[in-house]
Amino acid sequence: MPRFHADARSCVDAIIQQVGKKIVLGLPLGLGKANHIANELYARAVADPSIDLHIFTALTLEKEPAGSDLFRRFAKPISDRLFGDYPDLAYAKAVRTGRLPRNVKVSEFYLTAGQWLNSPCAQQNYVSANYTDVPALLLRLGINVVAQLVARRETPSGSQFSLSCNPDITLDLLPELERRRRAGARVAIVGEVSDELPFMPGDAALPESAFDHVLDAPGLRYSLFAPPKESVSLSHYAIALRIAALVRDGGTIQMGIGALADAVAWALILRHRHNAAFREAAAALDVTGELAPFEEGLYGVSEMFVDVFLALYREGILKRRAGDGALLHAAFFVGPKKFYRELRDMNDTERASFLMKPISFTNSVSGPDEVARRSTRKNASFINEGMFATLLGEVASDTRDDAVVVSGVGGQYNFVAQAHVLPDARAIIAVNATRTSRGKTSSNIRWSAEHITIPRHLRDIIVTEYGVADLQGKSDRDCVAAMIEAADSEFQEELAATARSAGKIEADYIVPDRCRLNAIHNLERALSPLKQPELLPPYPFGTDLDPVEQELANALQRLKTRGGGRLEMVMQVGRALLKGRINAAEEPLDRLGLAHPRGLRQFIAAKLLAWELRDMANRRR
């Protein structure tokens, strides 16, 4: 039976006594970290150089926003409001500032997207691994402590704990750690109780005997990390409408987090509940395929339980059940406050429709129940997102050409591999045709890429806002043509010329006329009849941001993309100084503390923001 502790210090005393001073600490990805235990272990290592602490984790969530002063002014009040008592992870601050002590190492296999680009410590200690390979990797590293946030409930036979948001890796580790314990190894399985975590049943539910130590201290409870929703752009909707027509009724679906998942879920709801509008959009985009409402419905198997799966369930789309009665099998979750509240408010029967499983189940068809997995995962659409793709169908999703890691491989490769071993499955990867940074627009469809996540021999379907490139079983020549035709028209001729010179397409190849109109203004024109807020809303599933914060988020994103070189920046600041009239009564400026700017930096920031807000208002008129 576990020892219960009322404070983190007592718990960590017991951990060190049990395993010694050489600690390989496994913290779950994202939400499920036992923050108080992690912080106390880190503090001990800082105070005692004889402790050797290796923290292995992924997706470290930070309350304190990183970025420019303007962005921090915007984001900090929001994070304080949504999860102000969430305890910051001390090791994260040390990694960000480059001040980890020599006796502490922090390795992550998946980084919060775009948040660690300028951290040498995070970049150097990143471990590239497929999600399904992480449990075996941890065992090779000698993991001896697992510290996890858990939900608790009382039963007639005693306490029961749920791994809730993160059974993903822990469930795959526990059998081997128990075997090692029986062989004499010193191992500690530790839980930290949360009142806010929903108690998820099934494999995630464990008896108290599964734990050595439990930190159960009401005074140390805190709000769950709950990131607000991103807005959905017109490009996301164009991609999503194309993807929705690829999803087969009676099939299986997997999705990731973010604006694309929101857009895909909303497009599926349009197809099911507002079919006339969906067909109108499909016709405007020249989309064919699966256009009818869902009759048999979908079953979900996804490494991440995204909140929009609940929306699909409420709309009667997620309704095909697996053999155990589940509508969805998933390995971890993180999401907005409303999502956690919905799960907590469900009765046990309803919650049992959403079963949390180990990562070896969701991300692979191999296992003792392989026959059942294959039969359940019929007509699967595994939907993921990439940063850019090549003309030969390769996809880069985690690392830039300069080797800087943006995020990580995660489970993307796992789902693409599944699609290739299941006879009727498809791996669908969405890639925005272009990106704009610092005032410069470049193509995300390229001839080549330095660092690839999905190799060409696993190419399948790549979707941009301008088209669907079905590459499965196609020759290199046909892949090149399909990718050119899905690219932005501004870059098509250059891409075609490169392919011709490499001999990958015929010398007299000409981009078809039907593809020469691939431009954002044409998308806007095509979808304009559906741009009513109820059909293509910026936040289809709501947001924790109030109207002023939504306006500020839009303005800051526009400022970020304007950017440009030094001359462009000077011109932009000049226009703002001339036209950016600061109105002290304007609420957005007041929210950021810029209604009465102090000093040149604040004055310029206020002018830039005022100019952007006024430009946005003029465009709406």
Asked if residue 378 and residue 320 are part of one domain, the reply reads yes
Q: CA torsion sign, 320 to 239 to 540 to 524?
A: negative
Asked if residue 590 and residue 504 are part of one domain, the reply reads no
Residue 529 covered by a domain? no
Q: Which residue in the block uniquely carries the two structure tokens 């304080």?
A: 80
Backbone angles phi, psi at 3, to 5 degrees: -90, 130
Beta-bridge partners for 191: 148, 214
Asked if residue 333 and residue 185 are part of one domain, the reply reads no
Residue 71 covered by a domain? yes
Biggest alpha carbon distance in the chain?
Answer: 77
Residue 228 covered by a domain? no
- Please give the pLDDT value at position 119: 95
Q: CA torsion sign, 113 to 117 to 119 to 124?
A: positive
Burial of 313: CB neighbours in 10 Å, binned 0-12, 13-18, 19+: buried
Q: Which residue in the block uniquely carries the two structure tokens 């009142």?
A: 195
Q: Which of 332, 30, 19 is nearest to 162 (CA)?
A: 332
Asked if residue 264 and residue 169 are part of one domain, the reply reads no
Asked which of 458, 488, 522 is the last residue of a domain, the reply is 522
- Please give the pLDDT value at position 565: 47
Joined tokens for residue 98:
């480059």
pLDDT lower than 50: segments of the chain: 565-571
Output the domain CATH number for residue 341: 3.40.1080.20
Q: Which of 417, 472, 415 is nearest to 254 (CA)?
A: 415
* Number of Cα atoms under 13 Å in the Cβ half of residue 111: 29
Compute the radius of gyration of the chain from its Cα atoms: 25
Residue 532 covered by a domain? no
The SS3 call for residue 207 is strand
| CB proximity list for 216: less than 8 A, separation 6 or greater | 4, 5, 6, 152, 193
- Please give the pLDDT value at position 345: 97
Do residues 378 and 419 touch, judged by C-beta distance below 8 A? Answer: no
The SS3 call for residue 337 is helix
C-alpha to C-alpha distance for 445 and 346, rounded to whole angstroms? 44
Give residue-wise pLDDT tens across range 46-71.
Answer: 999 999 999 999 999 998 777 778 88
33-42 residues labelled b (16+ CB within 10 A) or e (exposed): bbbbbbbbbb
Q: Provide the CA 95 distance to its chain's centre, in angstroms.
A: 21
Asked if residue 422 and residue 336 are part of one domain, the reply reads yes
The SS3 call for residue 147 is strand
Asked if residue 71 and residue 214 are part of one domain, the reply reads yes
Using CA atoms in the order 177, 183, 188, 194, what is the torsion angle rounded to 10 degrees? 40
Using CA atoms in the order 568, 574, 575, 578, what is the torsion angle rounded to 10 degrees? 180
- Please give the pLDDT value at position 579: 52
- Please give the pLDDT value at position 590: 83
DSSP 74: H
Residue 377 covered by a domain? yes
Residue 225 covered by a domain? no
Domain holding 23, by residue range, is: 3-220
Output the domain CATH number for residue 12: 3.40.1080.10
**Residues in the chain, how many?**
621
Do residues 26 and 138 touch, judged by C-beta distance below 8 A? Answer: yes
Q: Provide the CA 391 distance to its chain's centre, in angstroms.
A: 25
Inter-CA distances, 537 with 16, 259, 454, 617, Å = 52, 12, 32, 18
Asked which of 181, 198, 220 is the last residue of a domain, the reply is 220
C-alpha to C-alpha distance for 46 and 38, rounded to whole angstroms? 12
Beta-bridge partners for 55: 25, 106
Using CA atoms in the order 485, 255, 551, 81, what is the torsion angle rounded to 10 degrees? -160
Asked which of 172, 197, 220 is the last residue of a domain, the reply is 220
Give the count of beta carbons closer than 10 Å to the beta carbon of residue 435: 14
C-alpha to C-alpha distance for 215 and 212, rounded to whole angstroms? 10
- Please give the pLDDT value at position 570: 43
Asked if residue 370 and residue 324 are part of one domain, the reply reads yes
568-595 residues labelled b (16+ CB within 10 A) or e (exposed): eeeebeeebeeebebeeebebbebbebb
Residue 132 covered by a domain? yes
Give residue-wise pLDDT tens across range 6-30.
Answer: 999 999 999 999 999 999 999 999 9
The SS3 call for residue 146 is strand
Q: Which of 386, 486, 397 is nearest to 429 (CA)?
A: 386
C-alpha to C-alpha distance for 400 and 564, rounded to whole angstroms? 19
- Please give the pLDDT value at position 618: 73
* Number of Cα atoms under 13 Å in the Cβ half of residue 5: 20
The SS3 call for residue 553 is helix
Total count of domains within the chain: 3
Residue 538 covered by a domain? no
C-alpha to C-alpha distance for 15 and 29, rounded to whole angstroms? 21
